[in-house]
Structure 1
Amino acid sequence: MKTQTADRLVKIVISLEAVAVSALLIFNLWHLQQAEPVDNILQGPMVWLMGPIFVVSWLWLCWRAWGAYLSPEGIKVQWPFWALVAVQVSYFPIGTVIGFSLMLIKVKFRPRTI
């Protein structure tokens, strides 16, 4: 695989994650509104206050992860990419496969320069 192909693949994966997770967050927040009332902080108007914050922060992380993936510098610049991978790896089985694939592509095609 060429570096350009690997870059394109990572950009597609990060873009799909950004859209899919944002949609799932919105759906889950809407679903919380439909549930029986329980003593939960994310009930009522608090859902619609915190929801956009969650979605915007996830989109920001995905946007920064793409720039961090391309960066040859150290962890101070690359941390958004590795944070995105760490979040992905915890969602077994598909997230684990995606997370480890992103790690492999990053290490193979965009190694850190010293």
Structure 2
Amino acid sequence: MKTTFVNQEVIAGIGNCYSDEICFEASIKPVRKFPELESSEFQALFHGMKTVFHRAIEAGGYMDNPLFKNDQKTGGYDKQCRVYDREGEPCFRCQSTLVKEMVSSRKMFYCPNCQR
């Protein structure tokens, strides 16, 4: 799923961070393939997208640079990430240690206990 999510021809706007966060919200491991998913897992992904994007919009998104001078909101979602860039930290749900792997030359963060 990771490589499909970050493909801008499939769904624009989902990059490394959001793809990992969406999969965490849906309790699905990012290396799973879409044809393997059950109907309930697709519903969980859709709900995960809505939840993550709502949080990200409220927090100013996941961007490195401010949009304008004295912009204090842009990039605020970085501090709210549940898995992205949190390798070795405890999972918010189960306290297991979060893992980082590489998939198609991209960083992937997930909880090996919560995401199957």
TM over 0.5: no
Normalised by the size of structure 1, how large is the TM-score? 0.32
Report the TM-score, using the length of structure 2 for normalisation.
0.31
Higher helix share: 1
Q: Which has the larger radius of gyration?
A: 1
In terms of fraction of residues, the more strand-rich structure is 2
